[in-house]
């Protein structure tokens, strides 16, 4: 009887060991598989990125107008009105004053000094340009109204 019990215990142990080993093997296989899938996914991703970059480069080279359109231009002012050269100069002065409020600049048309009121910079006499207001508020792009 005792021998029989030991046999059964040994058989159980062997079985348990076998199961443990198989579990480990399965885990290793699963990991291998995942890594393979990941590698494949990455491979396709890199190919796609390369194709996109190549297409963009081609577009820039072939079509200068596309690259010009995609290059951001600095907006000099807000407002829908047409402005003349002198008014543009006045707006440019407001830009300069936004950089340094201590500058003593004069409006090129009215000849008066700019009005600085806290965060706001005004053309001293926008009516000489034919506008109601030319100003920048709180460091924002100058506005023509
Ligand atoms: Zn002005």
* Reported pTM: 0.50
**Tens digits of per-residue pLDDT, 87-115?**
999 999 999 999 999 999 999 999 999 99
Q: Structurally, how many domains does the chain consist of?
A: 2
75 in a structural domain:
no
17 in a structural domain:
yes
Same domain, 66 and 89: no
What is the whole-number distance in angstroms between the Cα of residue 72 and the centre of ligand 1? 27
What is the whole-number distance in angstroms between the Cα of residue 86 and the centre of ligand 1? 8
Which residue, of 70, 97, 118, is where some domain finishes?
A: 70
For the chain, report the end-to-end CA distance as a whole number of angstroms. Answer: 107
Residue 32: its pLDDT value, please? 87
What is the whole-number distance in angstroms between the Cα of residue 81 and the centre of ligand 1? 15
CA angle 79, 83, 88 (to 5 degrees): 100
What is the whole-number distance in angstroms between the Cα of residue 111 and the centre of ligand 1? 8
Same domain, 64 and 96: no
Same domain, 15 and 39: yes
pLDDT band with cut points at 50, 70 and 90 for residue 133: very high
Which residue, of 43, 70, 97, is where some domain finishes?
A: 70
112 in a structural domain:
yes
Which residue, of 13, 43, 70, is where some domain finishes?
A: 70
Same domain, 13 and 65: yes
What is the whole-number distance in angstroms between the Cα of residue 90 and the centre of ligand 1? 5
80 in a structural domain:
no
**Tens digits of per-residue pLDDT, 4-16?**
788 888 989 999 9
76 in a structural domain:
no
Query: For 113, left (φ over 0), alpha (ψ -120 to 50), or beta?
Result: beta
DSSP state of 132: S
What is the whole-number distance in angstroms between the Cα of residue 88 and the centre of ligand 1? 9
What is the whole-number distance in angstroms between the Cα of residue 94 and the centre of ligand 1? 9
Residues around the ion ligand 1 (C-beta < 5 A)? 90, 107, 123
**Tens digits of per-residue pLDDT, 31-69?**
888 888 999 999 999 999 999 999 888 877 776 666 666
The closest alpha carbon to 122, from 86, 89, 94, belongs to 94
What is the whole-number distance in angstroms between the Cα of residue 115 and the centre of ligand 1? 10
Same domain, 66 and 124: no
Range of the domain at 7: 2-70
**Distance between CA atoms of 98 and 102, rounded to whole angstroms?**
10
């Amino acid at each position: 009887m005792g021998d029989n019990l030991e046999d059964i215990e040994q058989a159980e142990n062997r079985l348990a060991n076998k199961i443990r080993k198989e579990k480990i093997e399965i885990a290793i296989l699963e990991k291998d598989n995942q890594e393979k899938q990941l590698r494949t996914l990455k491979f396709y991703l890199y190919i796609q990125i390369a194709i996109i970059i190549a297409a963009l480069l081609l577009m820039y080279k072939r079509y200068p107008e596309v690259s010009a359109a995609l290059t951001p231009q600095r907006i000099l002012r807000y407002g829908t009105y047409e402005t003349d050269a002198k008014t543009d100069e006045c707006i440019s002065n407001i830009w300069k004053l936004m950089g340094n409020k201590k500058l003593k600049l004069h409006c090129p048309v009215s000849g008066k000094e700019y009005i600085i009121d806290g965060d706001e910079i005004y053309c001293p006499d926008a009516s000489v340009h034919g506008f109601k207001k030319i100003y920048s508020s709180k460091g924002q792009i100058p506005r023509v109204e």
